Structure 1
């Protein structure tokens, strides 16, 4: 668990600044994405490093056009989503809660795996990446140091400040 980067405090209520829902959380409550929680008047990223899937995949199967052709990216996901779309192809991830017990995979471990696999990039996909916002900031910043591109497959429902942070820390596409 890690303290979130984007939030505003109002007494015991915190307002999350990651997605446009801007959830206002009372003590102990979680946002719509289920990954952020108000603990002691601070926004905590409970989903930090809680990864549901990891695999190397060709970039061509992502919704990017002519982006790093013939490359592979270490593709990973977390749990839950900011939307509840009945047609979601990954509903088993996006509609689920965080597991109560799960090993957290730190950014260094994913970068090492990408390098070992000879992947050229990192891609947050399968569920909504903004649920992993603070993790992505750390991961993509580290990945950039190793010349790994950073991509997200997203519904796009994040705040302008959140996307700016992601771009500044290594999201390329």
Structure 2
């Protein structure tokens, strides 16, 4: 959805802060989008590798509809390389590595309605990696009166972020730390995440921030105080 064509059928992805330039036949840093003759294709659209019904607190999202269930979707791929990832088997896998399920947006919404689950969630791996699917499901789900929640590393660029927020009720952002050292551990950067936090707040969406404490990486008490 968010890319521009360059000379020689190269493309530049504009979905996240990395702004990958991808040659014909190549893939972006997330490993799940491929340049096919100057057109950028998602390789995981409607092909989740993880589909579960979870308590909303597992998201984690503790203060929006506590005690309710969420229908969760995740694919392979991620635009971070976190060395302590809980879901590395998904986030660090590539298309073809794991079994997938054929669940187009209509089917995802149908499952939630049939099971009387009020919220669909995009989690386990980074929603930015399967943005196109997240967006289409969100648009349809909202038209059916369902809620949309997603758990992100906060690395989307402002334009795709704001467009998705139109159909979003709540966001959980994983703030890795408050220093570049913490983000070096993820092969990423802090500034885009801070920008995302501001945008989500400005757009009036329910926002919860989580932080995984990793000894020697992001456990300095002064940094934690600044983060809070």
Question: Is the TM-score greater than 0.5?
Answer: yes
Aligned to 1:167: 165
Q: Would the aligned equivalents of 1:48 and 1:104 in 2 still touch at CA under 8 Å?
A: no
Q: How many aligned positions are there?
A: 168
> Offset at 1:131?
0.8
1:10 is matched with 6
- Aligned 8 A contact 2:3 2:11 in 1: yes
The separation in 2 between residues aligned to 1:126 and 1:156, in whole angstroms, is 14
Partner residue in 1 for 2:67 = 70
Structure-2-length-normalised TM-score: 0.70
Aligned to 1:136: 134
Alignment match, 1:110: 108
Give the conservation status (yes or no) of the 8 Å contact 1:56–1:117.
Answer: no
Structure 1 unaligned residues grouped into runs of 5+: none
Aligned to 1:147: 145
Q: Bigger relative contact order, structure 1 or 2, given CA contacts below 8 A and separation 6+?
A: 1
TM-score by length of 1: 0.92
CA contact (8 A) 2:49 2:101 kept: no
Task: Report the equivalent of 2:41.
Answer: 44
Instruction: Point out the structure with the larger helix share.
Output: 2
Name 1:27's counterpart in structure 2: 24
User: Which secondary structure does the structure 1 equivalent of 2:19 belong to?
Assistant: coil
> What stretches of structure 1 move > 4 A for 4+ residues in a row?
100-103
Unpaired segments ≥5 residues, structure 2: 171-228
Secondary structure of 1:153's match? strand
> Deviation at 1:70?
2.3
Instruction: For 1:124 and 1:67, locate their aligned partners in 2 and report how far apart those are by CA, in whole Å.
Output: 15
Distance between the aligned counterparts of 1:99 and 1:105, measured in 2?
16
Counterpart for residue 183 of structure 2: none
